[in-house]
Amino acid sequence: MNSFMSSNYIPKVSVIVPVYNTELYVERAIISLMEQTLDDVQFIIIDDGSKDNSLNIIKQVITRYPARQGQVTLISRENRGVAATRAQAMELATGDYVIHLDSDDWAELNWLEALYTKALEDNADVVVCDYRTIHPATSTDVKQPIGKDGVDCVKKLLSGELLGPTWNKLIKRKLLVDNNIRFLSDINFLEDFILVMQAFLAANAIGYVAQPLINYNQCNESSITATVSEQKVNEIVSATKIINEVLCQHQLVPALSEQFNTMKLRLKYWILCSANKAAPDSFWGLYPEANKHIWQSSLSIHVKTVLYIASLKMFTVAQLIIHLVGLLKRIIK
């Protein structure tokens, strides 16, 4: 562990970067951090047992920025999963606010300054910004307008209007500590969604910066969100149980049941898109209670049709439609 910052020091922002096998992208990510316009920052970078050259690349980049070296904590250890990595980094964070960056994404250089300035202006516990999706041939700016309060933000999270990751949400660290909001080490999918949801519900004020300050890389096919496995499906089930528990604790189950069912349907669709034909039966039967909400949901007609066909247990047909639609989109482009 290389650490240059005193544990008593309180920077404006702590940035947490979990790293795992992203040697093709991590240089760009770290450069975007080292060149941030906000000076008073703590960077916590944890290599989660990468088997590629990610760690060496990170070290090389940091040496190019001597003025930043004293702000960096770099840790390399055995693989424990992204949630345990985030949790460990949170224990080391001393900043007034915290935010995360995935090592295959990269930030605009005013990312931290714009969010931190807005947090001070609004006295906000959470500040959200827009983001940009990056595909091999295209990019798209995505608006992330917040709701009128924390409950409305959770409603938008569940419906998919707001994305769940922590990289476009600056969160006051005291809010997380005081409300015992932390990452669950055994949940490596939707782990950030759960934390963001709890932060929204605990926040007194939520701010919004209408700028795409994060570049969300959709080119990394080895990303944890790009593939599906039986373990991941089990984690999805565990995560949705926790989400339901949080909704129950805040007495929001009746009010947000429509949005929660929409989330379940989106997860079912993602599994259909990502799983192969030899996937176990448990993949296809998730959330049967959500099937009756397919046609009333806010999902596109294409997604509704695929989910309805899947609800009839015609999984091969559903996957064929997904494949054909994807092929047609590529031809049109």
**According to the 3-state scheme, what is the secondary structure of the chain?**
CEECCCCCCCCCEEEEEEECCCCCCHHHHHHHHHCCCCCCEEEEEEEECCCCCHHHHHHHHHHCCHHHHCCEEEEEECCCCHHHHHHHHHHHCCCCEEEECCCCCEECCCHHHHHHHHHHHHCCCEEEEEEEEECCCCEEEECCCCCCCHHHHHHHHHHCCCCCCCCCEEEEHHHHHHCCCCCCCCCCCCHHHHHHHHHHHHCCCEEEEEEEEEEEECCCCCCCCCCCCHHHHHHHHHHHHHHHHHHHHCCCHHHHHHHHHHHHHHHHHHHHHHCCCCCCHHHCCCCHHHHHHCCCCCCCHHHHHHHHHHHCCCHHHHHHHHHHHHHHHHHHC
The count of domains in the chain is 2
Same domain, 203 and 264: no
Taking only the tens place, the pLDDT of each residue in 81-133 is 999 999 999 999 999 999 999 999 999 999 999 999 999 999 999 999 999 99
Same domain, 52 and 176: yes
Domain that holds residue 295: 257-332
Averaged pLDDT of the chain: 92
Rounded CA separation 91/101 (Å)? 17
- The mean pLDDT value for 8-32 works out to 96
Percent of the chain at pLDDT above 90?
Answer: 78
Query: Of 217, 243, 274, at which residue does a domain stop?
Result: 217
CATH label of the domain that carries residue 48: 3.90.550.10
Q: Which amino acid is at 57?
A: I
Rounded CA separation 281/288 (Å)? 13
Same domain, 75 and 137: yes
- Predicted pLDDT of residue 234: 87
Structure tokens at 331: 């031809």
Domain annotation covers residue 107: yes
Structure tokens at 40: 């008073």
Same domain, 59 and 146: yes
Domain annotation covers residue 101: yes
Same domain, 185 and 59: yes
Tokens 């609004």 found at: 122
Same domain, 96 and 192: yes
Domain annotation covers residue 247: no
Same domain, 89 and 173: yes
Rounded CA separation 65/35 (Å)? 9
Neighbours of 197 (CB within 10 A): 24
Same domain, 155 and 304: no
Do the beta carbons of residue 20 and residue 48 sit within 8 Å?
yes
Taking only the tens place, the pLDDT of each residue in 173-216 is 999 999 999 999 888 999 999 999 999 999 999 999 999 999 99
Query: Of 166, 194, 217, at which residue does a domain stop?
Result: 217
Domain annotation covers residue 226: no
Domain annotation covers residue 239: no
Same domain, 138 and 36: yes
Same domain, 136 and 23: yes
Query: Of 217, 245, 266, at which residue does a domain stop?
Result: 217
Domain annotation covers residue 20: yes
Domain annotation covers residue 237: no
Same domain, 18 and 144: yes
Which of 115, 187, 203 is CA-nearest to residue 154?
203
Report the predicted TM-score, pTM, of the whole model to 2 decimal places.
Answer: 0.91
Enumerate the β-bridge partners of residue 99. Answer: 15
Domain annotation covers residue 238: no
- Compare 320 and 169 and report the one with higher pLDDT: 169
Same domain, 140 and 270: no
